[in-house]
Amino acid sequence: MFNFALRRRPLCARKRARSVSPVTLGLLPLSVMPSFAQAGDIASGVTLPSVTITASAPNPITVDPNLPATVETVTPAQFQNWNVVNSEDVLQYMPNLAVRKRFIGDLNSIIAVRGTSNSQSARGLVYADGLLLSNLLGNSYSFPPAWSMVAPDEIQQVSVIYGPFSAAYPGNSLGATVLITTRMPTHFQAEADVKGFTQHFSLFGVNGNFNGSEASASIGDKVGNFSYRLDANHLENTSQPLQFGTLARSNTPAKAGDIPVTGAYFYNNQTNTPTAVLGVNGEGIEHSINDQFKLKMQYDFTPTLQGGLTLGYWHHSYNSQTSTFLRDDNGNPVYSGNVNIGGYEYRIPAAEFAPSSGYSENWLYGVTLKTRNATGWNGEAIASYYDIGSSVARTANSGAPGNGPGSVTFGDGTGWKTLDLKTTYTPATPAAGLANHALTFGYHYDNYFLDNTTYNTLNWQDGAGNAFANAFAGKTQTQAVYAQDAWRFLPRWKLVYGARYEDWQAYDGSQAIAGTRVPYSDVSDQHVSPKASLSFDFTNDLTLRASIGRAYRFPTVSELFQGQINGSSIVNNNPNLRPENDLSKELTAEWAHWNGLFRFTLFQDDVKNTIFSQTDTTVVPNVTNFQNIGEVRSRGVETSYAGEDVVVRGLDLMTSVAYTQSKILANAQNPATVGKYFYRIPLWRADLVASYHLDGRSTVTAGVHYSGRQYNTLTNTDTNPDVFGGTSSYTVADVKYTFRPTKLSEIGIGIDNLFDERYFVYHPYPGRTFYVEGKLRL
């Protein structure tokens, strides 16, 4: 039987327990799967304070036992044995969670969890040491968290809070909240890490290898009361083709003036429509370069008062190469015009194979001040400013080679700033059976501001803007206060309840086209979000919990004002959007047994006024923009298990299975979608990762990801999902071998997508990818 001290520790901090009965193996498929160090686990029938684990970790890991929701935590002891290049990779085996990552270094890596799809980026929060990394300027794959502000090697632990059950977080926690804690040195240390990776990719007219590398280094020390850590990272990679130019198979006979061409490919697309593939277009084959520098400093003014300063810099540049498969009778490439393919006429737009490029410079400034009393009152203040100091995106007007005309978009001066003030009260452990309260009060402020201006240019690659095209601008601001109480009113019963009041406004919104600025009216809204969670320690090892919470997710700047710019196409957005109104419910059982922790969770989210880009079919002509969908209900079940020394000594296991049914219940603007499955929510998700420690120096790891049927349209008309343009079901296996020649060195060899599965998230995912890695520490 597990005692509290064992159950509260992350797996990396636990001593290995004895092997368990072979009966465990037979029960694992029924076990309802992983949960690492669940915050909120309760074991004994007495009042339990927050627990600080020192173990062998260089920094203590503090687990808050009063979080009123499901929490999954992973530490380097687990993910150092996985194929990890970017910080978001450490989430890859979390239950019922996936990250839309199309290639290593992908800028559009979005969290998808439960009833939140991988295009709803504003339904997730990511913090690093309390600094907000979530880009809430928009709500799509174009607004991912600033993952590059955190290097994997500096991560001490990552916790994922499922659902909006804590009053301490805004309605953007509707999906999940990711809390990244990074390490600070306790003595002089230096680290270096070099990785190389390559994939072979073959599809349509592309058959080749695409390569990349990453190099990182860090140095840090603690001198008296002052500590610092400096990280640098350089990542360069070339993706597989991300998008192909396609046209529906033509039935129009070719005319005399059409150019006869060869090289096209044909397939049935996601709606089973015969389709011609003409070449690599759109985002094409993307070559990206990322450079990151980060300085963190801390100073202990007293044993209980600590201040911190973070300065982060991230530079991203890219160029997207396109190519045509089409050749005329002389072997010359054909990029546009009317062509003759197999006796039929196809009309290829001039911009079909237009390449693009761009860069951005991003700065993160953060200041923290907090007290660290074991009991009684504590305070914390965190201020952050994320500045997109320079942003340039260039697109050609034509796919023909050369420095022809195009457009350039400047996004300088876009970013966000936040302020969080929090005070907590932690009671000293009273006599058994006496009620106590753990209190939290807080204030939150955020301000998001966006300013994009597009010009036409005579030289798309490096020319200045010579003619104004369009501009979008706008700001949002939120102020919130909240209170929460964790009340153990009986030895085995605890009630966590609270509320959050939010005052939101959008202002200074405008759109300018052809030199005319059109302002939008300012809008504001206020809401109160109550929360409650009741838990019962059924036994020392089994905890039951019921949670319910209301959450409001307010519209972002781009949903309200920016519009959607896709080449030369502009789609106006909706300044009259109402906030998403969610009621979330969850029932959870957590059982510490068999050297690990089982979890079983039932959940349901009822979201009214879901904000999503769709076509209003009730007006003529139809209008496509961000609209409020009347109601979307997501309900499902998650099962998980995580343990050490499972069945045999040295085998660590994480496994989970989740079923989610997300359906549209009301949609006045597009009635044909009612009763259909919501966009990109797979019915089933399953993950398993097993690491076997051969000895003190070698570890072999194998993992499997499964994602079931999902739809790429709200009308569920994509009946052929496992092709380009569709969203696949897939089963993908990964492996890695880790060898540590000395305590200060490490070599890793890994493979992702072991069996070279060809699968799609509209874009193709990578093919079989090989990794090699070397680390040195001082």
Average pLDDT of every residue of the chain = 89
pLDDT at position 401: 84
358: three-class secondary structure by DSSP: strand
Q: Name the residue with higher pLDDT: 403 or 394.
A: 394
pLDDT at position 32: 31
pLDDT at position 400: 84
Mean pLDDT for 454-475 is 91
Q: Which amino acid is at 264?
A: A
Confidence check: pLDDT of 5 > 90: no
CATH number of 4-777: 2.40.170.20
What does the alpha-carbon distance between residue 4 and residue 37 come to, in Å, rounded to a whole number? 11
Confidence check: pLDDT of 47 > 50: no
pLDDT at position 430: 56
pLDDT at position 231: 96
79: three-class secondary structure by DSSP: helix
pLDDT at position 46: 36
Residues 271, 329 contacting (CB under 8 angstroms): no
- Our CA dihedral for 137, 140, 143, 146, rounded to 10 degrees, sits at 120
CA distances from 607 to 61, 275, 577, 663 (A): 35, 37, 14, 11
The DSSP code sequence of 604-640 is EEEEEEEEEEEEETTSSS-EEEEEEEEEEEEEEEEEE
What does the alpha-carbon distance between residue 68 and residue 396 come to, in Å, rounded to a whole number? 51
Encoding tokens for residue 35? 């949960």
Contacts of 97 (CB under 8 A, 6+ apart): 91, 111, 112, 113, 160, 176, 685
Confidence check: pLDDT of 31 > 50: no
Question: What's the pLDDT band for 51 if we cut at 50, 70, 90?
Answer: very low
Q: Where are the domains of the chain?
A: 4-777
Mean pLDDT for 522-544 is 96
pLDDT at position 523: 93
What does the alpha-carbon distance between residue 600 and residue 220 come to, in Å, rounded to a whole number? 41
- Quick one: which of 185, 155, 193, 162 has its CA closest to 12? 155
pLDDT at position 24: 33
pLDDT at position 45: 35
**Residue 530 bridge partners (DSSP):** 499
pLDDT at position 65: 81
Q: What is the DSSP letter of 145?
A: -
Mean pLDDT for 621-630 is 90
Question: What's the pLDDT band for 48 if we cut at 50, 70, 90?
Answer: very low
Question: What's the pLDDT band for 512 if we cut at 50, 70, 90?
Answer: confident
Question: What's the pLDDT band for 624 if we cut at 50, 70, 90?
Answer: confident
Confidence check: pLDDT of 637 > 90: yes
Instruction: Report the first-to-last Cα separation within the chain, whole angstroms.
Output: 40
Largest CA distance in the chain: 95
Asked whether the bond before 95 is cis by omega within 30 degrees of 0, the reply is no
Residues 516, 495 contacting (CB under 8 angstroms): no
433-443: per-residue pLDDT in tens?
445 899 999 99
**Percentage of the chain with pLDDT > 90?**
81
- Quick one: which of 559, 364, 367 has its CA closest to 476? 559
Residues 290, 365 contacting (CB under 8 angstroms): no
Sign of CA dihedral 549, 550, 554, 559: positive
pLDDT at position 413: 86
Contacts of 490 (CB under 8 A, 6+ apart): 433, 435
Residue holding tokens 């300027």? 137
Sheet strands (E) in 514-595: 516-519, 523-537, 542-553, 564-566, 569-571, 580-593
Question: What's the pLDDT band for 622 if we cut at 50, 70, 90?
Answer: confident
Per-residue buried b or exposed e for 571-583, using 16+ beta carbons within 10 Å of the residue's own CB = ebbbbebebbbbe
pTM: 0.89
Other beta carbons within 10 angstroms of residue 480's beta carbon come to 22
